[in-house]
Amino acid sequence: MSETSKMPVLFLAHGYPALLDDASWVRELHDWAEKLPRPRSILMISAHWEARPVTLGATQTVPLVYDFYGFPQKYYEQTYPAPGAPELADRVRALVGATQPVADAPTRGLDHGAYVPLVAMYPEHDIPVLQISLPTMDARPLFELGRALAPLRDEGVLIVGSGFLTHNLRTLDLMPNALIPTWAKDFDAYTAEAIQRHDIDALLDYRKRAPGVQQSLPTHEHFVPVLTALGADADSHSETQFPINGFFGGSFTRRSVQWG
């Protein structure tokens, strides 16, 4: 497919730094990227950057943000020197700035929610990348942020929300064949069914409607990037796929979504 094709929108389960030691997960991400149109640039919305107002990260290559603790030294030596995306930053500023303030953080590099999946998907780090912050945890404004960004799809930009649909570190179980709690299965199924039905109300009202939400999401930053991705497809009603499924660490669903 050409670089001028309308780009899909993605939500991916980004994993933790050691994801890159999991050959099967890396292969799934890489194979997924191989099937996508090649992006002109990538816009990342990661669970690991909350800042109000919407803030644009570095537009040149700067050091990564190693926003994790207690891992072996090799994880702090990972690099991903992707080109900056100043033109994309200008477009985001124009699209989003029409309705709300936009700030800049010119020294803020990619965090692990952004660079870990990109290392697997685009290991040659030759596609310009821009990361923007999550300005709120409220569902509707994040959905509308995605809607404002939607025109970028016609400009060769791959919009990626990066998080986890379930994220409870207190229940992480890295033992082989760890049991998947019922509440995690129920929440994953609710979200998947709502996405397949294009049921925007069910997704925006997930805190009240979804089964198992309190156990699945003690905090909400890992879930809400899916709402921005959803917003970027809200007016297209694209075909939905789940390229990666299954669970990790017991209760963490690896479900990833592609619209278009």
In sequence order, the β-bridge partners of residue 42 are 129, 158
What is the pLDDT, as a whole number, of residue 1? 37
CA distance 27 to 97: 38
What is the pLDDT, as a whole number, of residue 147? 98
* pTM of the predicted model as reported, rounded to 2 decimal places: 0.96
In sequence order, the β-bridge partners of residue 153 are none
What is the pLDDT, as a whole number, of residue 47? 98
pLDDT in tens, the chain (260 residues): 344 479 999 999 987 899 999 999 999 999 999 999 999 999 999 999 999 999 999 999 999 999 999 999 999 999 999 999 999 999 999 999 999 999 999 999 999 999 999 999 999 999 999 999 999 999 999 999 999 999 999 999 999 999 999 999 999 999 988 999 999 999 999 999 999 999 999 999 999 999 999 999 999 999 999 999 999 999 998 999 999 999 999 999 999 999 99
Rounding to the nearest 10 degrees, give the CA dihedral for residues 107, 164, 254, 65.
20
Which residue segments constitute the domains of the chain, with CATH numbers given? 9-259 (3.40.830.10)
Lookup: tokens for 242: 């789940």
What is the pLDDT, as a whole number, of residue 237? 85
In sequence order, the β-bridge partners of residue 256 are 244
What is the pLDDT, as a whole number, of residue 3? 44
End-to-end CA gap in the chain:
13
**Count of beta carbons in the 10 Å neighbourhood of residue 107:** 10
What is the pLDDT, as a whole number, of residue 16? 83
* Among 56, 24, 32, residue whose Cα is nearest residue 43: 56
CA distance 4 to 230: 22
**Parallel, antiparallel, or unpaired: how do β-strands 240-244 and 256-259 relate?**
antiparallel
* Residue that is written with structure tokens 């780009």 in the block: 7
